[in-house]
Each structure stands twice: as structure tokens, then as C-alpha cells.
Structure 1
Amino acid sequence: MLKKQMELLMNEQVNLALFDVERAYAEKHALLHEGAMEDRTSLHFNVIERCDKLNEELLAEETESFLAIPVQYLKEHSHEFMYVESDRFEVIRVDSFALEFDEAFGVYSALFGLRLQKKQGEFLHAYLTSHLQHEKMTYSMAFSGQDGLWEVNLALNAFGEFSEQQSFGEVFVGLYRFVFGLLVEIEETV
């Protein structure tokens, strides 16, 4: 599943910029082409929106420069959530990410749909349990048969390297790497 997505990505672009996790995967599976490939440190987004949590109304469409703002913005504007889409998410089988500050638990949350089969739920649960550690809520997940995906809600505070001083861009790259690692592990164990 991941190998096919990486092959598609590698075949679509010349001099493709890769994240460290992608490069390691491509090297391990002999997917790298001849020629120099740049290191990627950020994502390009097709959609960047700030929305109202109560009614999901669009408050503003943002430019990529907004992603340099610390994620603490969500705590200061607790009625808002961030919504982003990127073509690169296709590699990790995610359509979009939403970030919000969950006042009930006092944590930053990432919400996304992950296109995995229902039968992979036990593995997903085990992976999230072993990789997320926090004294409060760490994650929730539910399978949507109608959409054919896992609806996942992760507490960003459960990531060891998370800080509310990180920019939105850094947080989204961290989420990308996390889900990529999850897919690598699924592929290796199945």
C-alpha cells in the first residue's frame, strides 16, 4: 500500500524533494532514481482554512505564511480550528488534517480520516497506544463503514517532541511523519 503510493509519487516528478522518512523508505525499497533529490522540510497546501468549531463555518482562507504562526494560536482562539489539505497527503492515505485546542481535555488535537481497512483496527490501536503517551486523552478512533476509513483524533501533547510554540507548518510535518511511520510498520507486519 505505501510502496505503491511512493512509486506513484516518485514517478510523477523529477528531482522530487523527500522528507527524511520518505527517503529512508525509498532507499530501503530501491525506489530512488538517478539524480539529485532535495530534502523536504515543509508541505505545500492546497487548502488552509480557519473555521468556527461550533458551526464549522469558514472564518478565513489563509496563505502559507499563516503556517509560521505558533500552534498556540488555537488556545488563544479556542473557538477556531485549522483545516488543511495537501496533495502530498495521498501518500499517507489521509485527505486532510484539522487541528484544534480541546478545552475539555486541555490538549491540542489533530483529527483526520485514515484510509485503512477495518481489519487493521487492532494494529492501529496497538500502534497509537505504544507511540502516544500523555496523562490525559491520547487518542480516539472509530471506523466509518460509510466512508471506509478510520476517523482518528490524536492528542498532539502525547507526541514527545510537541510544543505549543511549534508553528502550524512544523506540526503538520510531524503528523505526516507520524502517519508515514504507522504505514511503514503496518506494511512490515502484514
Structure 2
Amino acid sequence: MSLQNRLQDLLKEGQALTDFEYNKAASQNWPLEGAKMTEEARFADVYIERVDKESEEMIQAENAAFLNTPLTYVKKQQKEFIYIESKWFDVVRADGLAIEWDEVFQTYTVLFGLKRPKKDTGLLKEMLSTLNGAQLQFNGQDGLFDVNIPLLELEDIKEDTPLIGVISAVYRYLFNLLMQLENE
């Protein structure tokens, strides 16, 4: 199902879209009309876990207020990563996001599965090549691409960006990526 169709289905269900989505739709001449919401409100119902990196066991579930925590949290708490799920990630074909500090490369990263056919490998590699250190690997078991992106490579992300801003920036990046893929 195309990005346009997923957005239309959400509007039919009575969901609201963000200005970013409406602007992108308008740039493609997609006739979308409906309620609006802010990006912060969009992710108010996310599921958040702090997870131990070694055991992958949950340390603690967090509420949406945790999204006001700056990205530097994962650098200060290097033994854990933050796992975030949202129904909105389905729009951009991603499963949950894992945000962590990569000790080896000394950088903030986001890891996620991307639901795209294997035939998109070449295009995805080309698109991700603009991000220094981005990694892509097709996982045949899950039928997903495992994607690892250095967060500071994305527009609008700095070390002190709150996690809500990080999630929004990743969402916008993936939205643009999918739009580009569908136009190829």
C-alpha cells in the first residue's frame, strides 16, 4: 500500500495528520483533507522502554513525559537503550525504534526494521549513502531491512534535542525516504 493510501486510510479513520504530512502531500498533488495535529501530540501515545543493552531485558517502561528527556540521556546511561513503539511508525513502514549511544563509533544511533521488498536494496543503499555511517542489511528471517542511522546526521537533531524531537526527525526522514522510493 502506498504512502498516499496509508495517509488517506488514517484520515478515513478520523485520525489527524501533521502540517509536515499535509505539506508533503500537497507537494505531490495528493488530495488529502482532514484534521491537523502537532508532531508532539502525534507521539503522545507511544510505548517506551528503557532496556539493558547486554541482557535486552526491560529496565523500566516510561510514560510520554520521558520524551522531554534530551538525547544525551543515552550517552550518560551507556548500559541501556531506549525502545519506542508507535502506531504512526506503520505509516513510514518502520517497526520500533531503538535509540542508543554507540560506544564503538562514539555516536548516537537509531536502529529499526524497515518493511520494504529486498529489491529496494540498491535504491535504499544509495539514499542512505548521504548519511555518514548509515548501515543497511536485509534480514531474510524477518523480511525487513535492519537500518542503523547516526542520529546527528539527520536534520534538526543535536545532542540536546529532546527525544520527542528525535522521534519526529526520524519520522520525517523516513517519510521523505519512502516518498522518494515510491517516486522511483
- Using the size of structure 1 for normalisation, the TM-score is 0.89
For 2:48, the equivalent position in structure 1 comes to: 48
Residues 44, 86 of structure 1: 8 Å contact kept: no
Instruction: Quote the residue 1:120 is aligned against.
Output: 120
1:171 Cα deviation from its structure 2 partner: 0.2
Q: Structure 2: how far apart are the matches of 1:77 and 1:19?
A: 34
- 2:36 aligns to what? 38
Please list the CA deviations of residues 102-130 of structure 1 after superposition, one character each: whole Å capped at 9, or x if unmatched.
01100001000000000101110110112
Separation (CA, whole Å) in 2 of partners of 1:114 and 1:30:
24
What's the counterpart of residue 82 of structure 2? 82
Q: How far, CA to CA, are the matches of 1:172 and 1:19 in structure 2?
A: 16
Question: Match for residue 162 of structure 2?
Answer: 167
Of structures 1 and 2, the one scoring higher in RCO (CA 8 A, sep 6+) is 1
Structure-2 change in CA distance of 1:19 and 1:143 (3 Å): farther
For structure 1, which runs of at least 5 residues remain unmatched after alignment? none
Aligned CA RMSD, in angstroms, stands at 1.5
2:72 aligned partner: 72
* Cα distance between partner residues in 2 of 1:91 and 1:83: 18
In percent, how many aligned pairs have the same letter? 34
Structure 1 counterpart of 2:145, from 140, 143, 150: 150
For structure 2, which runs of at least 5 residues remain unmatched after alignment? none
**Cα drift, residue 19 of structure 1:** 4.2
Given that 1:6 and 1:26 are in contact with CA atoms closer than 8 Å, whether structure 2 keeps it comes out as: no
How many residue pairs align between the two structures? 180
User: Does the 8 Å CA contact 1:115/1:148 hold for their aligned counterparts?
Assistant: yes
